[in-house]
Amino acid sequence: MPAPAPSLHEKLNQLRQRFIAQLPLRLQQTADQWQASRASCEAESRLAPDLHRFFHSLKGTGRSLGFERLALLAEKAEDALTDAHPRADLDDFMTALLCQLNDELSYLQTDQGQQASLAALNSVEFTHQPEQVRSKRQRLIYLCDDELEHVSSLVHHLRCFGHEVVHFADTETFFNAVLTRRPDAVIMDVQFPHGQTAGTETLTSLNRLTGQELPSIVLSGHGDFHSRLSAVRAGCNGYFTKPVKPLDLMLAIDELTAPVDDEPLRVLIVDDEREVAEYHALLLEEAGMIVHQIHHPNDALNALERFSPDLLLVDVYMPVCSGTELANIIRQQPEYVGLPIIYLSSETDSQKQMSAMAAGVEAFITKPVVPDELVSAVRLRAERLRLLRSLMTRDSMTGLYNHSTTTDLINKTLAQAHRSGGRHAMAMIDIDHFKTVNDTHGHLAGDQVIITLSRLLRTRLRLSDTIGRYGGEEFVVLLRDVSIAQATSLIDGLRQDFALVDFHAGGVSFRCTFSAGISDFPNHPTTQSLRLAADQALYRAKHQGRNRVTSSMESAHDGE
Ligand SMILES: Nc1nc2c(ncn2[C@@H]2O[C@H](COP(=O)(O)OP(=O)(O)OP(=O)(O)O)[C@@H](O)[C@H]2O)c(=O)[nH]1
């Protein structure tokens, strides 16, 4: 059996032990530097920055990792070295401090010292639970209904959208199934042969038993007060009366189970103090975020481009370049103007904090951080950026990427594929005779068709695929790591299912189809050439009678 993953406290403890293990050597080097700095004025001014940095860093890291006495001694040394009027007994004072630091270190290496520091570690309060990360948009749906006429059409529509649907004709089998495998949502009839409200009562019992409300929608033959009340009492999220339009029910289920943005937040930490960077990374990772650390400010621009963070956590006091200077460098680049930056520092002087904030950073957090406060500050600001980005990059009707973002994302994917290889496919999808749909059934019905197709694409394609709305009724998809044949068959499966979806408008029901053209990378090595080849294949599909998928391979062979 694999060993269980270490807990946060175990990881923190390992980090503290690593920090203590390397400290004797660093203390010895600092004592030597201090002695050397007393030899001449030149040596003093040459070594002063290193000495200051060591004590400043020991103060910050010591506090963050809970070594309060080490931090206090380091703070005294830092103050003595930076005092505008150096004390007369500076030599004796520093020698005594270095001795006390060595004594404290020896104590921390004893069993008793380890115990005491562990007790401090265990008192770290951290209430954030790791986020549940869902990787798929497909949902498990239980449909419990003893009237079988509508069931097959409902099951068909739900499956079209990639959901796994299990049908139960009686409440008892349904009850046991929920206890064995909990679904993402339930569609429940109210009335069963053994009770007027047996369906909703079953939901109420399950909710009580499990202590968790099942996301559920009622589908009933009756809209009477008593049935509706039983649904409210069972905590149901919607109530439909039969005959239901499958698409309406499907959209309600989609709303009910729509994942919140399930991409973990990405945080880039820039801190020259490795242990502190590691400590903050552990806290943020524990809260479900993806963290990348760098220890040299000059690596920041590269890391920003490669890692694409939602937020930057920067130490203010770093050699080579301060956090404030780094923020200014980053803000010089238009693409990072909106990136939230949080400063971390042991600086408590509010005047200095204010001047640091002038570089346009979002917040200033003082070390040692309170774990929950760090996580909340990061989450709040990173999520706000995500929301703003989403408003700028997505089409408001469908939630798919807009034209320019789709092109940018495809460009990036291809640039990466040029570096590291890989094959991708592009599909241009266009709804057939859409003008007629609008003219016959109205614009609102047309909008429903567009929304339905976009939901179908989102539920059935992978999270790593790029799906965009290119124009009115035209969509573009970049399918990663597939051959042109696989892409053609996948999009053709979607085409067949979409053609069976029933739309309703003004008392009439109708169906729609789409045509698609597929091209592939690296046969077509740029976004422009991929797009052109997919467009030409789409044109052929339309020309050959619509409701079909044509690949650029077929076009090429046909043209031979
Ligand atoms: N309802 C609705 N209609 C839109 C939207 N965007 C574009 N349209 C309409 O979509 C129609 C597109 O029509 P065409 O591209 O000519 O398509 P078509 O000739 O009917 O069909 P094909 O030849 O099969 O492509 C136009 O009438 C647009 O007004 C939208 O957001 N909602």
- Give the DSSP letter string of 489-545: HHHHHHHHHHTTPPEEETTEEE---EEEEEEEETTS-SHHHHHHHHHHHHHHHHHTT
pLDDT of residue 558: 54
- pLDDT band for 534, please (50, 70, 90 cuts): very high
pLDDT bracket for residue 132 (50, 70, 90): very low
Of 498, 415, 436, the closest CA to residue 461 belongs to 498
93 in contact with ligand 1, CB cutoff 6 A: no
Q: Is 38 in the pocket of ligand 1 (CB under 6 A)?
A: no
| DSSP code, position 192 | B
Report the range out of 29-33, 155-159, 352-356 with the highest average pLDDT. 29-33
542 lines ligand 1 (CB under 6 A): yes
Helix axes 443-460, 434-441, angle to 10 degrees: 130
d(CA 37, CA 41): 8
Q: What's the gap in Å between 510 CA and the centre of ligand 1?
A: 16
* Distance in angstroms (rounded) separating the CA atoms of residues 415 and 176: 51
Give residue-wise pLDDT tens across range 198-217.
999 999 999 988 888 899 99
Decide whether any atom of ligand 1 lies within 6 Å of the 513 Cβ.
Answer: no
**Bridge-partner residues for 345, per DSSP?**
366
Residue of 288 and 428 predicted with greater confidence: 428
pLDDT band at 123 (very low <50, low <70, confident <90, very high): low
Determine if ligand 1 sits within 6 Å of the CB of residue 434: yes
Confidence (pLDDT) at 81? 87
- Position with higher pLDDT, 371 vs 123: 371
450 Cβ inside 6 Å of ligand 1 = yes
As a whole number, mean pLDDT of residues 460-489 equals: 92
Tokens of 227: 């049935």
Average pLDDT, the chain: 85
Retrieve residue 381's tokens.
């600001």
Distance from Cα 446 to the centre of ligand 1, integer Å: 8
pLDDT band at 133 (very low <50, low <70, confident <90, very high): very low
C-beta of 517 in contact with ligand 1 (< 6 A):
no
Check whether 129 has a pLDDT greater than 60. Answer: no
Q: Which atom of ligand 1 is nearest to the CA of 443?
A: 1
- Ligand 1, pocket-test mutation among 400, 434, 535, most atoms within 8 A of CB: 434
Taking 80 as the threshold, does the pLDDT of residue 532 lie above it? yes
CB of residue 79 inside a 6 A radius of ligand 1: no
- Using a 6 Å cutoff on CB, does residue 286 contact ligand 1? no
**pLDDT, average across residues 408-424:** 90
Ligand 1 center–CA 353 separation, angstroms: 55
Residue 475 Cα to ligand 1 midpoint, Å, equals 12
**Confidence band (pLDDT; 50, 70, 90) for 131?**
very low
Tell me the percentage of the chain whose pLDDT exceeds 70: 90
Answer whether 435 contacts ligand 1 (Cβ < 6 A).
yes
- Considering only residues 295 and 347, tell me which one the structure prediction assigns the higher pLDDT: 295
Q: How confident is the model at residue 16 (pLDDT cuts 50, 70, 90)?
A: confident
pLDDT of residue 559: 44
Assign 130 a pLDDT band (cuts: 50, 70, 90): very low
Q: Which residue has the higher pLDDT, 76 or 558?
A: 76
Rounded Cα gap, residues 316 and 364, in angstroms: 9
The region of weakest confidence among 130-144, 210-224, 228-242, 454-468 is: 130-144
**Cα of 554 from ligand 1 centre, angstroms:** 27
Q: How far is the CA of 319 from the centre of ligand 1 (A)?
A: 59
pLDDT at 425 over 70: yes
Mean pLDDT of 293-314: 92
In contact, 177 and 146? CB cutoff 8 Å: no
What global pTM score does this model have? 0.60
Residue 185 above 60 pLDDT? Answer: yes
**Residues 366-381: what's their mean pLDDT?**
87
Over residues 90-94, the mean pLDDT reads 90
**ipTM for this model:** 0.93
State the closest ligand 1 atom to the C-alpha of 515, by its place in the atom list counted from 1.
Answer: 24
- 199 compared with 161, residue with greater pLDDT: 199
Is 469 in contact with 404 (CB distance < 8 Å)? no
| Confidence check: pLDDT of 397 > 80 | yes
In a mutational test of the pocket of ligand 1, which residue from 435, 470, 510 has the highest number of ligand atoms less than 8 Å from its CB?
435
Indicate if ligand 1 lies below 6 Å from the C-beta of 473.
Answer: yes
Nearest atom in ligand 1 to 434's CA = 20
Asked whether 336 and 330 are in contact (CB, 8 A), the reply is yes
List the single range of 13-22, 146-155, 426-435, 491-500 with lowest mean pLDDT.
146-155
Instruction: Say if ligand 1 is within 6 A of residue 539 CB.
Output: no
Judge if the beta carbon of residue 242 lies within 6 A of ligand 1: no
* Bridge partner residues of 165 (DSSP): 141
First to last CA, the chain: 59
Residue 128 reports pLDDT greater than 60: no
Using the mean position of ligand 1's atoms as its centre, give its distance from the Cα of residue 471 in Å: 9
Picking from 45-49, 113-117, 524-528, which range would have the lowest pLDDT averaged per residue? Answer: 113-117
pLDDT at 423: 92
438 CB less than 6 Å from ligand 1?
yes
Half-sphere exposure of 344 (CA within 13 A, CB side): 31
d(CA 219, CA 249): 9
Q: Looking at the predicted structure, is the pLDDT value of residue 135 above 50?
A: no
Whether residue 403 has pLDDT greater than 80: yes
Ligand 1 atom, smallest distance to 445 CA: 1
Average pLDDT on 467-477 reads 92
Q: Is the pLDDT of residue 111 over 70?
A: yes
Task: Specify the pLDDT at position 8.
Answer: 77
Q: How is 257-306 classified by DSSP, letter by letter? A: HPPP--SPPEEEEE-S-HHHHHHHHHHHHHTT-EEEEES-GGGHHHHHHH
Q: Give residue 143 CA to ligand 1 midpoint distance, Å.
A: 36
Atom 18 of ligand 1 has which residue's CA nearest to it? 433
Tell me, in angstroms, the distance from the centre of ligand 1 to residue 524's CA.
28
Among the ranges given (145-159, 391-405, 431-445), the one the predictor scored with the smallest mean pLDDT: 145-159
